[in-house]
Chains A and B, each alone.
Chain A
Amino acid sequence: MSLPCEQLDLLVIGAGPAGLCAAYEAAAVGCRVTIVDENDKAGGQLSKQIHRFFGSSHHGAGKRGIEIAEELFGDCLKLGVDVRLSSSVLGLFSNGEVMIDAPTQLCLVNPGAVIVATGASEKSLAFPGWTLPGVMGAGAAQTLINIHRILPGSRVLMVGSGNVGLIVSYQLLQAGAEVVGVVDTAGSISGYQVHAGRVRREGIPVYLGHRLLSARGSTGLEEVLVEAIEDGTVKRFEADVLCLAVGMSPLCDLAAMRDCRMVYEDALGGLVPWHGADMRTSQSPVYIAGDASGVEEASVAMEEGRIAGISAAEDLGSLNSGEAAERRAAIAKRLDELRAGPHSRGKLAAKERLYAR
């Protein structure tokens, strides 16, 4: 088998917040940029986020995720970024070539630099009954309701009181489902109080200090048993959907495959490619950005994407090193602000450990 190999300047893998921002920054200084994404729409996780986002004006704060996705995508198109959707990257090889499963054919490209901005995937829990139809990731339910506009069921129990669990609970209500509760083993709400407030004022109880025992049903989920950790009492919830919102892990197998040095950081969601504050990995010219470099907020992903775009542009000769350093410093300052709150403390510490390694 021999495939023709296309020469590219900068290839960005993933058209989510990190990838789009990376592409924009690099294209803005004259790089020829190509983005590939396996979905048929750009925006990554933003395309299913219908709530307004935190952050500042640099991150589209106050706008909904879907609006931010459109803006970032539009900005890239204006700069002539070559966007290839429905195209999955199958491999990143040590000779620098990248194999892409594009809609019409399989193809090989050889880019001068690669930014891996592949995002994250949902973690799961294994427990009795977790294989029943109706048990699913919270993100899966969110994809169904907000993108396909289809309810996965009518009565939902949510596991996990982090921001994802709280936001998806709210969005399930908006979609017309009944949410019978949010369950968490922790003794306090894991997400932001304001998100919890939105859910609780709709009358959804949050059961803290409770753990999942089992999911039951014959051909699909019918009920869920949950135990109060302190006194061992068991509650039975009737539900046809059980959503698991128990964290995300970085999707960085492409970087691992390219022999980037990998580091395990619990606070960042698991294994991440080592990288510096300039988003360079241990393998040149491979860069990492967004959730693939450690799971954080979309606003952080945007800023990291911008930094990766600038570093790649510098290495491709489109930006001199003084100018690149100056731009990175301005963004790093905003990143520091985004990570200044107590919720980011663990992640910030993990990132700093990583940079120093």
Chain B
Amino acid sequence: MAFNNFRILQHPVLGEKKNGKEVRIFLDGLPIHAVEGEPIAAALYAAGVRITRLSPHKKEPRGAFCMIGRCTECCMIVDGEPNVRTCRTMVRDGMRVETPRGWME
């Protein structure tokens, strides 16, 4: 998985991106590179992952919608804890993130 595909390294107003400390999180068991200080949902976008959960009844894919912790579409299972808003939860090295797949879990 390419690390920098969706990362904005150069920016005409914000300049060069300062290198944060790189950490590794696991999405459904697969390793993903992330940068310390960023929320899980952002790290997933950077890795090109847009699905945060499957809806409970119809199992439709959902993704982060508001990025400010209101819509709850980005809720995932983090280190075993369900319903964690990943747009407001920062990555930690070794964190295990799982995609909720409806009520069937």
Contacts and interface: CB of A to CB of B under 8 A. Distances in A.
A211 to B, nearest CB: 20
A133 interface: yes
Nearest to A173: B12
Contact of B62 (A38, A133, A139): A133
B25 to A, nearest CB: 14
Given A149-B8, A149-B11, A220-B50, A133 B63 contact: yes
B34 to A, nearest CB: 10
Interface residues of B, number: 29
B61 interface: yes
B42 A132 contact: no
Interface string A97-137: 00000000000000000000000011010000001111111
A176 interface: yes
B52 A133 contact: yes
B97 interface: no
Interface stretch (A7-15, A16-24, A140-148, A261-269): A140-148
A136 B13 contact: no
A63 interface: no
A99 B66 CA distance: 24
On chain A, which size bracket covers the interface? 20 to 34
A217 B67 CA distance: 21
Nearest to B6: A151
A2 interface: no
Contact of B45 (A124, A135, A152, A219): A152
Contacts of B69: 38
Interface string B54-77: 010000111111111110000000
A133 B86 CA distance: 15
Contacts of A148: 38-39, 42, 45-46
B66 A136 contact: yes
A137 B8 contact: no
A285 to B, nearest CB: 28
A344 interface: no
A174 interface: yes
Nearest to B90: A40
Contacts of B7: 149-151
Contacts of B70: 121
29 contacts: A50-B13, A50-B14, A121-B66, A131-B62, A133-B50, A133-B51, A133-B52, A134-B63, A135-B65, A136-B66, A140-B68, A143-B68, A144-B67, A148-B46, A149-B8, A149-B9, A149-B14, A149-B17, A150-B7, A150-B38, A150-B46, A151-B7, A153-B6, A153-B50, A174-B11, A175-B8, A219-B50, A219-B61, A220-B51
